[in-house]
Amino acid sequence: MTDEPITQVLNRALGGDRAAHEQMYRLLYTELLKLARKHLSGAALTLNPSALVHEAYLRLLTRESAPVRDRRAFYAYASQAMRSVLVDYLRERGAEKRGGGNRPITLSTELGQSIPSGEDFERLNEALLELRSADERCFQVVEMRYFGGMTEEDIAARLNVSVPTVKRDWRKARAFLFEQMQ
């Protein structure tokens, strides 16, 4: 399966074509579900991977923006939607913004790592918003890599930068987030 047919299906679905919605869902659901499972594994949340994918999918279909250029662009946006769903979910649960005894977390380069607990995730989200203010590209690298499960090569292609630049941004973002989480 090449990127071109999927890209066409994505654009038709995002343009309101109901048949394309169903086709897109069939084509991408399994991959999005795997990504959601990786993020939620070991997390103390009642949100299940299917619910995360469904909520993110609904947000994807209601977005208003330019057509999707390729799979990478779609997964970049899907990673934003999943992060947004997780943040909203945790806020609804009434997670404390800053609780005593929270342990610091660090982002791992392994895609199989789970998301942190509710309080830690809220702290991470606040640190990510600070990172976005300080360096938008570093924020995008974290979002695509940590939440989107994208490879360095895919991120580099999506951001139109080199792989070494993505690696530098990843290191810089991790250092920034570590400092913010202290």
Question: What 3 state SS string does 93-122 have?
Answer: CCCCCCCCCCCCCCCCCCCCCCCCCHHHHH
User: How far is residue 23's CA from residue 36's CA, in Å, rounded to a whole number?
Assistant: 20
The identity of residue 95, as a single letter, is A
User: How far is residue 43's CA from residue 105's CA, in Å, rounded to a whole number?
Assistant: 13
User: How far is residue 175's CA from residue 107's CA, in Å, rounded to a whole number?
Assistant: 10
The 3-state DSSP class for residue 148 equals coil
Instruction: Give pLDDT, residue 100.
Output: 44
Of 80, 101, 103, 89, the residue nearest 45 (C-alpha): 89
From first to last of its 182 residues, the chain has per-residue pLDDT tens of: 445 477 788 778 777 787 887 787 787 888 888 878 776 766 666 778 888 888 887 777 676 655 666 777 777 777 778 888 887 777 776 644 445 445 555 555 543 444 555 567 778 888 889 999 999 999 999 988 887 788 899 999 989 999 999 999 999 999 998 888 87
Instruction: Give pLDDT, residue 42.
Output: 62
Question: CB 145: neighbour CB atoms within 10 A?
Answer: 22
Instruction: Give pLDDT, residue 55.
Output: 83
Of 86, 13, 21, 77, the residue nearest 49 (C-alpha): 86
The identity of residue 9, as a single letter, is V
**What's the number of domains the chain is made of?**
1
Structural domain for 86, as ranges? 3-181
DSSP state of 15: T
**Residue pair 43/114 in contact by the 8 Å Cβ criterion:** yes
